[in-house]
Amino acid sequence: MLTYTIRRTIQAIPLLLFISVVLFLILHQMPGGPLAPYMANPHITEADIARLKHNFGLDRPLYVQYFSWAFHVLKGDWGWSTMNSTPVTEAIFQRLPATLLLMGISFVVSAAIGVFFGILAAVKPYSWWDYFVTTFAFFGMSMPVFWFAIMLQMLLAVNGIHLQTFGYAFDFSLPSAGMTSTEGGDFVDRVRHLVLPVIVLSLLQVATWSRFTRASMQEVLHTDYMRTAAAKGLTFLRIILKHGMKNALMPVVTIAALSLPGLAGGAVITEQIFAWPGMGRLFYTALTQQDFSLLMGYLVLISVLVVFFNLIADLTYGWLDPRVKYD
């Protein structure tokens, strides 16, 4: 496995170089190019633009610009964000903790609920529970994120829930946006701000996890080793958890590998709607303001994470299923 890991790591280098070249060329085709934020300023003259092009090296051939950018990135210098007037690395790592908090909680919640629902649906196929999980999965997959987020804001934040029973009035509402109500809000305040975006992000992921887990577990339940375990007199719960679960998670590992880079990438639509100060909102703002260096830093970071977690998924296959060999 060590040889396989080293080989895959070496193979990832030209792949990441190719991705960075494609991203560099695409972003250079933006209207105005890397100097678009400056060209939008009516007080900047053509002479100023020419001087900026020379200072930033944009008057050199494109391949020279790319190698210069790549050389600085390898040294840890990802450029300067014209939007924030800060280094790109600082702009990214300021937003990263908020995104990891939101996306990490959403990932854990959706994975736990989705796998649980999927196993129960597979164990009791064509029961009312199976039909409920299937219906819920189709509902989650087809629900537009932006519409669902706005409806939750209207229901639980703007209008709130007002009940009056046994002479007691009960009013419940959640914050509609932001990460805290006040500067450095307490733990309860942060949890209340997390509820709505976590529900929105978890809905689609729960649907995906439950459908894949159900299909995989149903296939595993009809294998010979599961029938052998039952013939030995093992309890049904032990058969499912010890023998079935490990092999049924093979396709689920692929979902996790594709989802984990999103933990750092953020959720663009959800973070915009809930004004969450994370990476997704940072990317949207950088895209609208054509912040070339920040866009390149963000996209290259996500590319590295995608390649890395795909390698982790391949290695996990060998741990889950001993039949998978790495020669």
302 to 76, 81, 152, 192, 296: CA distances (angstroms): 16, 18, 29, 29, 10
96-320 carries CATH number 3.40.50.1400: no
CA distance 118 to 100: 26
pLDDT at 322 over 80: no
Q: Which amino acid, 131?
A: Y
- Smallest Cα–Cα separation from 142: which of 204, 225, 223, 91? 204
Could you identify the residue written with the tokens 């007691």? 168
pLDDT of 21 reads 92
All structural domains of the chain with their residue ranges: 96-320
Q: If pLDDT is split at 50, 70 and 90, which confidence band does 249 have? A: confident
> Do 95 and 271 meet the contact criterion of CB atoms below 8 Å apart?
no
Could you identify the residue written with the tokens 């649906």? 121
Q: What is the pLDDT of residues 260-284, one digit of tens each?
A: 777 777 788 888 888 888 888 888 8
Q: What is the mean pLDDT of residues 91-116?
A: 88
- Smallest Cα–Cα separation from 208: which of 149, 263, 137? 137
pLDDT of 124 reads 83
pLDDT at 164 over 70: no
pLDDT of 18 reads 92
pLDDT at 167 over 70: no
pLDDT at 318 over 80: no
